[in-house]
C-alpha cells in the first residue's frame, strides 16, 4: 500500500480527482466521466487516494460519493516549510557573510 502522500500526488489524474472533489463531492461515475482513461483505472486511483486518506467515501445506494480530506496535505506543506526554513537560515548566514565582507555592496 502506497501511503506516501508525495507519491500519491505524483500522478496528474489523481491531482485532477482531488481538484474535482475539492469543489464539491462527486460520485465515482461523475469522476470517471471527466477522464479519458477507463473507469477501472479511475477506480484504482480512487482507492489509492482513499488509502492515503486524501478522500473519504460514503455510500448512497449503488453510488459511492467521494469527498476531499485535505488533512494529509499538511505533510507536504510541512515538509516544504521546513525546507524553506532551512533555506532562509542558510540565506541569512550568507547575508551575514556578505555584511562582514562587503566586496559587492548593493
Which residue in the set 34, 38, 39, 70 belongs to the binding site for a copy of itself (CB under 8 A)? 70
Residue 91 interacting partner from DNA, a copy of itself, none (CB closer than 5 to 8 Å by kind): none
Q: Which of residues 11-50 bind a copy of itself (CB under 8 A)?
A: 12, 15, 18-19, 22-24
d(CA 42, CA 21) in angstroms, rounded, equals: 13
Rg (CA), the chain: 21
Kindly tell me which of 33 and 76 has the beta carbon lying closer to a copy of itself.
76
39-51 and 12-23 are packed helices; what angle lies between their axes, rounded to 10 degrees? 80
Residue 22 binds which of a copy of itself, DNA, none (CB < 5-8 A, kind-dependent)? a copy of itself
Q: Which of residues 76-95 bind a copy of itself (CB under 8 A)?
A: 76-77, 79-80, 82-84, 86-87, 89-90
Site residues (vs a copy of itself, CB under 8 A): 4, 6-7, 9-10, 12, 15, 18-19, 22-24, 68, 70, 73, 76-77, 79-80, 82-84, 86-87, 89-90
Amino acid at each position: 500500500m502506497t501511503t506516501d502522500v508525495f507519491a500519491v500526488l505524483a500522478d496528474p489524474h489523481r491531482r485532477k480527482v482531488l481538484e474535482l472533489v475539492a469543489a464539491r463531492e462527486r460520485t465515482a461515475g461523475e469522476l470517471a466521466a471527466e477522464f479519458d482513461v477507463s473507469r477501472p483505472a479511475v477506480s484504482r486511483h480512487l482507492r489509492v487516494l482513499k488509502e492515503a486518506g486524501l478522500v473519504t467515501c460514503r455510500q448512497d445506494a449503488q453510488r459511492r460519493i467521494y469527498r476531499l480530506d485535505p488533512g494529509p496535505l499538511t505533510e507536504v506543506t510541512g515538509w516544504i516549510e521546513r525546507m524553506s526554513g532551512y533555506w532562509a537560515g542558510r540565506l541569512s548566514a550568507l547575508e551575514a557573510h556578505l555584511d562582514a565582507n562587503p566586496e559587492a555592496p548593493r
